[in-house]
Structure formats: structure tokens, C-alpha cells
Structure 1
Amino acid sequence: MFSENIYINTNFKNKFDSSDLNADSPPAPQKKTTTHESCHRFSKVLLTSFTVYFLLLTTLFSVALINKVWSCCPKHWKPFSSHCYFTATDSASWSESEEKCSSMGAHLMVIHSQEEQDFITKILDSQAAYYIGLSDAGHRQWRWVDQTPYNESATFWHPGEPSSDNEQCVIINHRYSGWGWNDILCSSKHKSVCQMKKICL
């Protein structure tokens, strides 16, 4: 009987110890901690991404706004590329026309590309002729008023022009073949096109 009691007590003690151990051991929180850390890390990455995206958008918007607002032309002048253009409707000689442009901080128009030629002809009256900033210093040495080089491959003479050594100034006018350049006497009275660089404030 004594040995039975010892067996029962031992068995009961083993049961108690084992249940006691189960009660004391906390549930494994590692999965929760890992999930929580991952979520926290993801939030940080997302916040950083949004911040960078917002700053980039703000920078691009600012650059676009500055270019649009601060690069401009005076009232009644037409913008194209980096220049502004004004068509003078009163007739004058070539030198008088250049003086008038100069008084506005500009010069007679200089044309270096087909795009520029096409732009200006769209806003001109096809029934009129307009002085541009090209003249002959003598012996058919054509020069632009702004001292930029005269490029033979970027000229828009009408067929058969220039036609006379005595005609040392140039107009742009419309003929049956379209818009083009024509040499003319510098004393002739015509309208003109002035050009200046865009104003950047």
C-alpha cells in the first residue's frame, strides 16, 4: 500500500508539473512580431515613395510655371521659339524701318530656318510686302542686321531673285509660287517685321 501511494503521488506530480509548464509558457509571438515589423517597414517605404513623388511633381510644375510666366513678349508681339515678332503696318524705307525696330529694342527680322519663315508668313498680309533684316553691303555680299552669318543653304529667294545689283535691300512677299524673298531698292516704302529676343525676368 505504501508503494502504491508513492506511485500515485509521483504520477499526480508529473501531471501537475506538465500542466504547470504548459500554463506558464507564453504563446509563440514571433509570427506576430515579424508581421508587425514587415507592415511597419512597408509603411516607411510607401511614405518615402510618396514624398519623393510629390517633390518631383512640385519641381516639374515649378519649372513649367517659370518657363511659361517669365519668358514672354511685349504686348502685340507674337512669340516663336526664343524670339518675339512685330509687324509694322506703316510703310517706310529699309533704313527707316530698321530705325523704328531699333527704337523698340529690336531689329528687322532675321530668318534662318523654314520653320521661322513659315511662322511669320502665317501672320502676314499676302497683299503686302515686308522688309526683313537682310541687305547687300556691295558686290552681292548679303548681311543680316544682327551680324549672324548669311547661309546660302537657308535662303528663300523667289525664282530669279536676287535680280539686280542696284537692289540692295530685301522684302518678303507673296507671289503665285508662294512666299519668298525679293531684292528691292532700299528707298522703296514697305511694311516691315521687327524681331527681338524674348524677355526673361
Structure 2
Amino acid sequence: MFSENIYVNTNFKNKFDSSDIDTDSWPDPQKNRSQKSCHKFSKVLFTSLIIYFLLLTILFSSALINKVWSCCPKDWKPFGSHCYFTSTDLVAPWNESVENCYQMGAHLVVIHSQEEQDFITGILNTRDAYFIGLSDPGHQQWQWVDQTPYNDKATFWHTGELSNDNEQCAIINHRWSTGWGWSDIPCSDEQNSVCQMKKIYL
């Protein structure tokens, strides 16, 4: 009984000690993990690249649709969606100033906000006065040259202005006591001017 036991156990042991078993074919857990990790990284990288190129395509398309490439002619200053040109060597009456701007594909400046007023005064010379696109055909009915409505709540008249019915054209000028503002003067006076045009979109 005892010897039989030994035989069985020895047999069992010999089965597992056999050199027939190829240990090289057993899967290496470490190698397997590394391959999976590399494969996962490749997928993430590929997905990221696709998303990146999709975003670039969307941004490029948006740029074309929204016309983000805009510019102003040489010597014109950009602000918002417009370009501005200050005439300092072409002093002229108001009507002639209107024509000079028109010849450049523009009109005398129209100002509707404090931001625009501040920008324009920032590019002007404090020693000069400049015609703007505002005139009065009579009875204090002020009108802009581009036909946009005149809003007396968004104006920048100097204190004491609009007191003379014979002064029917507006200038922007600087007073040392109060700073920049608008004044009404006779349209026949010769002044510099500020022209305005829409930006050129490419």
C-alpha cells in the first residue's frame, strides 16, 4: 500500500518536471501589459490629432465666413469696423471737405459713441480743428452725412454751443479748459477734416 502511494506521487511529479513543456510559449504578463498600454496611447494620440484638425478646419471656415481679415488703406487708422483719415494739409470749407472724403470712397466722420469720440480725439492735433459729418440745414435740425439718425443724447458739444443759427456746420476741437468737444461754425470757414470709411474685407 505504501509503495503504491509513492509510485503514484512520483508519476505525478514526473509529469510536471517533464522537459516537453515549452516555457517560452507561456504569455509574459509584463510584456502583454506594455503592448496594451502602447496600443491605448496610439489610439489616444490618433483621436487627439483628429480632434485638433477638426478644430482647425472649423476655425478656418469661421474665419472665412466672418471675414476676419480686414484692413485699412495706407495712412488710415483702424477702429471697430471703420478706418479714419485726418486731413491736415487740405484745409477747406465744409462742402469741399465732404467732396474730398467722397473722392477717397469715404465720408466725413460720423460719431455715435464715447469710445469713437475718444479714439478720434486720440489721433488729432490739439492745435487744429476738424470738420465732422454733421450739419444743420436750418432750425437746429442737425443731420449726419451718412443719413444715420442724430441722437442729441449721444453728442459731445462744448458748453455754450448751438447758440447761433448762422453756424450750421460742426467741427471737433480742443479747448484747454474743457478738452475735446464739438462746436458749430459757419460752413464757409476753412478747416481740416476727418474722413471715415468701412474697413476693406479680404
TM-score, normalised to structure 2, is: 0.82
Is 1:39 aligned to residue 38 of structure 2? Answer: yes
Secondary structure of 2:158's aligned partner:
coil
Q: Which residue of 1 aligns with 2:189?
A: 188
Is 1:13 aligned to residue 11 of structure 2? Answer: yes
Q: Which residue of 1 aligns with 2:201?
A: 200
Is 1:23 aligned to residue 21 of structure 2? Answer: yes
Whichever residue aligns with residue 192 of structure 1, its letter is S
Give distance in 1, aligned partners of 2:2 and 2:117. Answer: 119
Give distance in 1, aligned partners of 2:75 and 2:148. Answer: 26
Whichever residue aligns with residue 197 of structure 2, its letter is M
Give distance in 2, aligned partners of 1:153 and 1:80. Answer: 22
For residues 95 and 16 of structure 1, do their structure 2 counterparts lie closer, same or farther at Cα, with a shift above 3 Å needed? same
Whichever residue aligns with residue 23 of structure 1, its letter is I
Q: Which runs of 5+ in 1 are unaligned?
A: none
Superposed CA RMSD? 3.3
TM-superposition CA deviations, 1:112-168 (whole Å, max 9, x none): 111111111122121211100001122211111111111122100000111211111
- Asked if 1 retains the 8 angstrom alpha-carbon contact of 2:174 and 2:181, the reply is yes
Q: Which residue of 1 aligns with 2:146?
A: 146
For residues 15 and 106 of structure 1, do their structure 2 counterparts lie closer, same or farther at Cα, with a shift above 3 Å needed? same
For residues 106 and 4 of structure 1, do their structure 2 counterparts lie closer, same or farther at Cα, with a shift above 3 Å needed? closer
- Per the TM alignment, residue 13 of structure 1 is displaced from its structure 2 partner at its CA by 3.2
- Per the TM alignment, residue 17 of structure 1 is displaced from its structure 2 partner at its CA by 2.4
For residues 95 and 9 of structure 1, do their structure 2 counterparts lie closer, same or farther at Cα, with a shift above 3 Å needed? same
Secondary structure of 2:125's aligned partner:
coil
Whichever residue aligns with residue 182 of structure 1, its letter is S
When you count helix as a share of all residues, which structure comes out higher? 1
Aligned residues: 199
For residues 17 and 163 of structure 1, do their structure 2 counterparts lie closer, same or farther at Cα, with a shift above 3 Å needed? same
- Residue identity over aligned pairs, in percent, reads 63
TM-superposition CA deviations, 1:40-78 (whole Å, max 9, x none): 113211332245346646865897899999311111111
Q: Which residue of 2 aligns with 1:136?
A: 136
Q: Which residue of 2 aligns with 1:121?
A: 121
Q: Which runs of 5+ in 2 are unaligned?
A: none
Give distance in 2, aligned partners of 1:153 and 1:82. Answer: 23
